[in-house]
């Protein structure tokens, strides 16, 4: 038996197992297999994903090749820190907004970085979180991606799923999202149609699916079926993508409170169809659940 030290964290109920690279090295497992084991809610700790920091000043000798991260980190020479992020099913995700807030808090508290605003290398590019004095974390999520080939998206804006046809708005925040605006119960729609849309042929790398109900010009409800996870209590990149879609469809203003099952985040985007290069900013909580020794 092998004992490793792990931390459980959550951002609005979107939960993650976090462990140092040195703890991962003890396991002898691939990161994908370790994520599946730790994230299992019946036989493991239980989480939506697993996060392992990549400290560039440390020499991390990989026992098992972890593409696509290895090639990305080999080229890094300017970013403060990086991460390995795996979904509960063992797949990688380009980005995770709630996970990034938790990661930022963990990295600062454990002195992996020595400043409250820093840069993180991810598969979606460089993301910049900032720990605020009020305990919240604000993250520069970068600019949204609307070009079909970069999302990637191959289809038209009407999507057939089971017995319904939906008007959709595809957008990427480093990972693909399919936004559906609705006046119905968004959670019921996410449970019913999310699994089918996730694997729809229009999205060659699968997709996160957000059902959005606009409450006012400054507030929306959103429910999500996450790629590789299923129904989750919150999705930070999904909240960002939903606000971008809301702004571009003239449904909301540029600062929006997004209500998720696990709580709310504030999303700010000053962009437009004429200025898609503006960055999206997300502000929300990040909290520790527990610290533990886990026996493999």
Active-site residue set: 96, 235
Who contacts 156 (Cβ-Cβ below 8 Å, separation ≥6)?
none
Beta strand 164-167 pairing with 158-161: antiparallel
Three-class DSSP labels, the chain: CCEEEEEEEEECCEEEEECCHHHHHCCCCCHHHHHHHHHCCCCCCCCCEEEEEECCCCCCCCCCCCCCHHHHHHCCCCCCEEEEEEECCCCECCCCHHHHHHHHHHHHHCCCCCCCECCEEECCEEEEEEECCCCCEEEECCCCECCHHHCCCCCCCEEEECCEEEECEEEECCCEEEEEECCCCHHHHHHHHHHHHHCCCCCCCCCEEEEEEEEECCEEEEEEEECCCEECCCCHHHHHHHHHHHHHCCCCCCEEEEEECCEEEEEECCCECCECCCCCEEEECCEEEEEEEEEC
Closest alpha carbon to 39 in 65, 20, 18: 18
Contact criterion met (CB below 8 Å) for 106 and 18: yes
């Amino acid at each position: 038996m092998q004992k490793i030290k792990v931390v459980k964290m959550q951002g609005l109920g979107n939960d993650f197992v976090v462990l140092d690279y040195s703890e991962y090295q003890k396991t002898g497992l691939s990161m994908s297999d370790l994520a599946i084991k730790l994230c299992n809610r019946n036989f493991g700790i239980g989480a939506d994903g697993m996060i392992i920091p990549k400290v560039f000043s440390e020499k991390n000798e990989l026992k098992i090749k972890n593409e696509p991260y290895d090639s990305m980190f080999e080229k890094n020479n300017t970013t403060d820190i990086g991460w390995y992020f795996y979904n509960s099913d063992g797949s990688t995700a380009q980005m995770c907004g709630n996970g990034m807030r938790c990661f930022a808090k963990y990295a600062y508290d454990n002195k992996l970085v020595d400043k409250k605003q820093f840069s993180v290398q991810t598969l979606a590019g460089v993301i910049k979180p900032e720990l605020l004095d009020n305990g919240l974390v604000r993250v520069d999520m970068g600019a949204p991606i609307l070009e079909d080939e970069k999302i990637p998206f191959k289809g038209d804006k009407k999507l057939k799923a089971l017995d319904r046809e939906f008007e959709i708005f595809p957008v990427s925040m480093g990972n693909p999202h399919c936004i559906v605006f609705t006046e119905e119960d968004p959670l019921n729609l996410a449970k019913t149609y999310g699994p089918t849309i996730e694997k729809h042929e229009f999205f060659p790398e699968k997709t996160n699916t957000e059902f959005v109900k606009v409450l006012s010009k400054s507030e929306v409800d959103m429910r999500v079926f996450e790629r590789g996870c299923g129904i989750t209590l919150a999705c930070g990149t999904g909240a960002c993508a939903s606000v971008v879609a809301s702004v571009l469809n003239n449904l909301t203003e540029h600062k929006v409170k997004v209500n998720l099952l696990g709580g709310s985040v504030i999303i700010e985007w000053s962009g437009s169809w004429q200025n898609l290069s503006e960055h999206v900013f997300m502000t929300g909580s990040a909290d520790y659940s527990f610290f533990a020794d886990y026996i493999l």
